[in-house]
Amino acid sequence: KFFYIFATYIQIIIRIMKILVEKINAEYEVFVSNANAQVEKGNKAAGTRARKAALELSKLMKEFRKVSVEASK
């Protein structure tokens, strides 16, 4: 019974990590798109969106690190 619970727990952790990776990839695309618009076209609004995406990426990365450490225990 313990092994079943542990295996289920690991599956949940892996699922969470996959979801986080998908979110990180999506947010990174938003960041790159807006950062390029700011740098190449001088779009100030895009710069604001890029900074917001960078902040969200930071949060997602911290969450991924936390889950990853938990998975490695």
pLDDT tens digits, one per residue of 8-38? 888 999 999 999 999 999 999 999 999 999 9
pLDDT band (50, 70, 90) for residue 41? very high
Q: By percentage, how much of the chain surpasses pLDDT 90?
A: 79
Q: Which residues contact 64 (CB under 8 A, 6 or more apart)?
A: 17, 20, 21, 24
pLDDT band (50, 70, 90) for residue 63? very high
Q: Is 23:60 a contact under the CB 8 Å cutoff? A: yes
pLDDT of residue 67: 94
pLDDT of residue 69: 93
What predicted TM-score, i.e. pTM, was given to this entire model?
Answer: 0.86
Judged against a pLDDT cut of 70, whether residue 2 lies above it is answered with no
